[in-house]
Structure 1
Amino acid sequence: MNTKQLPDGNSSWKKIALFLISQNISLFGSSVVSFSIIWYITLQTSSGKWVMLFTLCALLPQVLISLWAGVWADRYNRKYLIMLADGFIALATLGMAIAFFSGYQSMELLLAVSLIRSIGAGIQMPAASALYPQIVPRDKLTKVQGINQTLNSVLLLLSPAVGGIVLGSVGIFWAFLIDVITASLAIAVLSFIRIEKVAAIAEPATVFAELRQGIDYVMSHRLLRRVIICFGVSFFLFTPAAVLTPLLVERSFGGDVWRLTANEMVWTIGSLLGGVFVSLRGEFKDKIRTVAICLAGFGVTFALVGITSNFTVYLLIMGIAGFFLPIMSTAQTVLIQENVEAAMMGRVFSLIQIVTGSAMPMAILFFGPLADIVSIGSILWVTGVLLIAVGVLYQVTSKRAGLN
C-alpha cells in the first residue's frame, strides 16, 4: 500500500469522516427509493412477475457492469468515479421524477430507470471499497469499517420507515426527489476531499486485458482464492435465510404484518449492535479465524431458526444472527484491503461483487422451488450445518497454507 497518500492526525480523520458521511447519505437516498419502488410496484400490480422483473433489473446490471467497473476504479481517480456514478444515478432518478410528475407513470419506466440505477451502483461500489485504504491508515481500517457498518445499519433501519411514510403520505414523486437531493449532497461533501489517483503498476492496456490481469492476480494469490471461494459458497448458503424467512414466518407463525416487520427489524438491530462492537473493538488480529467463527455462528443460528416453534425465540435467534454480519463483513473486507496492491484493489473488489451478486440469484433459483417441496425449516437446518462446515474448512485450509 502507498502510505504516502495517508495524511496524519486530524486531517486524516476529517477526510475519513467526510467520506463516510458522503457514502452514507448516498446509501440512505438509494435505500428510500428502492423500498418505495418495490412497494409501489407491489401495490399497483399485486404481481409476482413485476416484483421479479424489478429484482432482476436492480441486481443483474450491477453484476455485469462490475466486469468494467473494477478496471475503471484502478485506471482513473476513484473519487471522481464515485461522484460521476452518483450523479448518473441522480440524473436518471430526476428524469423519472419529472416523468411521474407529468403523469407518465409507467411500470416499464420504473424498470428501465432501476436498471440504470443498478449500473451506477455497480460502478460506485468497487471504487468506494477500493478507496478506503487510500485514506485510512492500515491499523484503523477495522475500526473505520465498523463505524461504517454501524451507520449502514442505522440507515437501513430508518429507510424503510421513511420510504413507507413518504410513499403513503405524499407519493413516490417525493421519494425520487429525496434520492436526487441526497445524491447531490453526497457529491458536494465528497468534493471537499482531496484524493490522488493511484499509480498504475503496468502500462495501460485494453479493459479486457486489465480485467484478465485482475483475474490472474486473484487466482495466483493463495489468500484471495480462498476469500473468493468463501464469499461465493457462503452467500449461496445465506440465501434461504435472507429470502425465505418471511415465507417461513407466514407459514409457521402467521402472516400478520407486524410479524413480518419484526422479522426484518431484529436482523437490522442485530447488525447495528455488531457494527458498534466492531467499531469499539477496533481490530481483529486473526481475521480468518474471525470469519470462520462468524460462519459457524451463522450456521448455528440458521439451524436453530429452522427448528424453533416459538416466535419470540425465533426473533431472538435472528437478532443474534444479524450480529455476526458486520463482524464477518469487516474482517473479510479489511483482510482484502490489507493484502491487495493499491493498483489492483478496484478489480479485486469488482470480482467479489460479481461472485456475491451472482451467488444469491443462482441460489434462489434452486432454493425457491425447493421451498414448495420441502419445509423451509429443513432447508435452513441443512444450510446451517453446511455453513458450519464451510467455516471449519476455511479456518483449517488457511492455517495449513500459512495464512492469517
Structure 2
Amino acid sequence: MTTDPTAPPAWKRDVTVFLTGQTVSLLGSMLVQYAVMWHLTLTTRSGTVMMWSIVFGMLPQAFVSVFGGVWADRHNRKLLIMGSDTCIALVTLGLALLMTSGVEDLWVIYAALAVRSAFAGIQTPAVSALVPQIVPQPQLLRINGLNQSIQSGMMLLAPVLAAALYASFDLVAVFFVDVATALVGVGLLLLVPVPTLARPTGDGGAPPSYVGDLAAGVRYIAGHGTVRWLMVLFGVTLVLVGAPSYLTPLMVARTFGDEVWKLTANEIFWSVGMMGGGVAMAVLGPRVRRRMVLVVASVLVAGVLTAGLGLSGNMWVFFTLGLGIGVAFSTMSAPSMTILQETVEPEMQGRVFGFVGIVMTVAMPASMVVFGPLADRFSVQSLLVVAGVLLVAFVAGLLAVPTARRSLGQVARAPDVAPDVAPDGAPDGAPDGAPEGAPAAVAHDHPPGEEDNRRTGP
C-alpha cells in the first residue's frame, strides 16, 4: 500500500488485526448458517420450516439495526462489536448445550437464530462506521475492496468446511467452532485502539435522547441527496439482481440438469466473480477517480448480464455471465460503501449504516416473496430477463431526475477533487441538507459487517 503522511503510524497493523479478527468471526457465523440450513432441510424437509428460519434469522436484524445505528453513534463502536460478538457466542454456546442434553425442538433453534440476528443488527452498523476511524481516507476504497474479496472467499470456503464438520461430527460441533471463532475475533479487536467519538450536545448541554438521535438520522438521510439516492440505487439493485440470483440454481436444474456438480459450479462462478471484483478494488482502489460513475456503470452491467442469464442457452455461457454479475456487484458495493464513509459525518455514520443494514436485510427477502412464487408460474429465464430490463430502465430513469443526477454528481470524483455542482441547491462543498460550510467529504484521523447477503441462508 502507498504511504499516507497524514495517516497514523500503526494504521496498517490496526487494519490487519481488525480484518483478521472479523474474518475469523465471519467464518464461524457462516459455518452456523450453512449447518443450520442443512440440518433443518435434512431433518424436516419442510418449506415452511425453512421459511420460518429465514424470518427469524433476518427480520430481527432489520428491526434492531434502527437502534443499533443510534448506539453506534452514541457509544464506543469497538465495545459494541465486542459485546455483540460475545453475546452471539454465549447464545450459540447455550444452544449447543441444550442440544447436547437432548433438547432439539424447533423453537429452540428459531429463538437462537432470532437472538443472533438481533445482535447482528447492533454489530453490523458499528463495524461499517468503525472502518473510517482506523483507515486513512485515501485507502478506504482499497480496504473495502479487500474486505469484499475476503467475504466472497469465505463464501467459497465456508460450505466446504461446514459440510466436513456436519458430516464428520454433528450440528453441535459446528456451534462450538463458532463460539471459538467469535472469541478469537473479540480478542483480536481488543488489540485495536478505537476512540469514542465526541458527541454534540443539545440544549442545556445534555445529549439528545435516543428518539431524538433516531429522528435526526431520518432527517439527515431524507435531506442528504447523495445518501438518499445512493441508498435507493443500492436497494433497487438488491431487489432486481439479488433475488433473481437465488433462482439461478433452479434454472440450472430445470434447463441444464440437476447434477450436483452443475449446481456447485454455479455457486463457485458467482463467488469467484465477487471475490475477483473485490480484489480489483483492493488493488486499483486509490486510482479510481470517478467512483459514482463506476457504481452506476456496475449497476447497468449487472442489469444487462442478468437479462443475458435469461437469454443464455449454453451452460458455460450462463456460468460466465454469473461470474460477471459477481464482479459487477463487488465493483458497485465497495465504492458505494466508501462514498458513504467519506461523505457522511463521523457522528452520523452509525445511524446511516443502520438504515443501510435495513435496506440490505429487507430488500432481498421481500423481493423473494415476489420472485419466488412467480418462478412456479413462469420460467426463470423470463423472470431474469424482466429483472435485468427493469434494472437498466430504473437507472436510466434515475439519471433523468435532475436532483438525483446532481446529488450523485456531488461525489462523482474522489474527495480530493472539488465538486463543481452542489446537490439540490445546497451550498458548494456542503452535503445536501447539511449546514453551510460543512465539508462534502470528511477526512478521518485514525483507529468492515454482515457478509454479503447473497446466499447466506438463515
Corresponding position of 1:271:
274
Greater Cα offset, 57-66 or 106-115: 106-115
Separation in 2, partners of 1:193, 1:331: 25
Q: 1:261-300 residue pairs with structure 2 within 5 A?
A: 261-283=264-286, 284-300=288-304
Superposed CA offset, 1:162-194 (max 9, x none):
001100111111100110000000000000111
Q: 1:2-401 residue pairs with structure 2 within 5 A?
A: 7-9=7-9, 11-203=10-202, 204-283=207-286, 284-395=288-399, 397=401, 398-401=404-407
- Asked if structure 1 preserves the Cα contact closer than 8 Å seen for 2:153 and 2:275, the reply is yes
- Asked if structure 1 preserves the Cα contact closer than 8 Å seen for 2:244 and 2:371, the reply is no
Structure-2-length-normalised TM-score: 0.84
Please report how far the alpha carbon of residue 242 of structure 1 lies from its aligned counterpart in structure 2 after TM superposition: 2.4
Number of residues of Structure 1 aligned to a counterpart in Structure 2: 398
- Asked if structure 1 preserves the Cα contact closer than 8 Å seen for 2:34 and 2:162, the reply is yes
Structure with greater helix share of residues: 1
Superposed CA offset, 1:251-295 (max 9, x none):
111222211111111100111111111111023212211111110
Separation in 2, partners of 1:282, 1:308: 32
Please report how far the alpha carbon of residue 159 of structure 1 lies from its aligned counterpart in structure 2 after TM superposition: 0.4
- Asked if structure 2 preserves the Cα contact closer than 8 Å seen for 1:292 and 1:394, the reply is no
- Asked if structure 2 preserves the Cα contact closer than 8 Å seen for 1:96 and 1:109, the reply is yes
Q: Which runs of 5+ in 2 are unaligned?
A: 1-5, 413-458
Separation in 1, partners of 2:371, 2:279: 33
Please report how far the alpha carbon of residue 393 of structure 1 lies from its aligned counterpart in structure 2 after TM superposition: 4.2
Separation in 1, partners of 2:109, 2:160: 21
Corresponding position of 1:3:
none
What amino acid is the match of 1:215?
V
Q: What is the Cα-based RMSD across aligned positions, in Å?
A: 1.4
Separation in 2, partners of 1:76, 1:179: 26
Q: Which runs of 5+ in 1 are unaligned?
A: 1-5
- Asked if structure 2 preserves the Cα contact closer than 8 Å seen for 1:7 and 1:135, the reply is no
Separation in 1, partners of 2:154, 2:370: 31
Please report how far the alpha carbon of residue 23 of structure 1 lies from its aligned counterpart in structure 2 after TM superposition: 1.1
Q: Secondary structure at the match of 1:282?
A: helix
Corresponding position of 2:421:
none
Superposed CA offset, 1:112-138 (max 9, x none):
101111011111000000001111111
What amino acid is the match of 2:133?
Q
- 1:202–1:395: structure 2 CA closer, same or farther, 3 Å change rule? farther
- Asked if structure 2 preserves the Cα contact closer than 8 Å seen for 1:291 and 1:391, the reply is no
Q: Secondary structure at the match of 1:260?
A: helix
Separation in 1, partners of 2:112, 2:406: 48
- Asked if structure 2 preserves the Cα contact closer than 8 Å seen for 1:295 and 1:390, the reply is no
Greater Cα offset, 248-257 or 20-29: 248-257
Greater Cα offset, 264-273 or 281-290: 281-290
Superposed CA offset, 1:364-391 (max 9, x none):
1111111122211111101111222333
Greater Cα offset, 128-137 or 275-284: 275-284
- Asked if structure 1 preserves the Cα contact closer than 8 Å seen for 2:243 and 2:365, the reply is no
Corresponding position of 2:3:
none
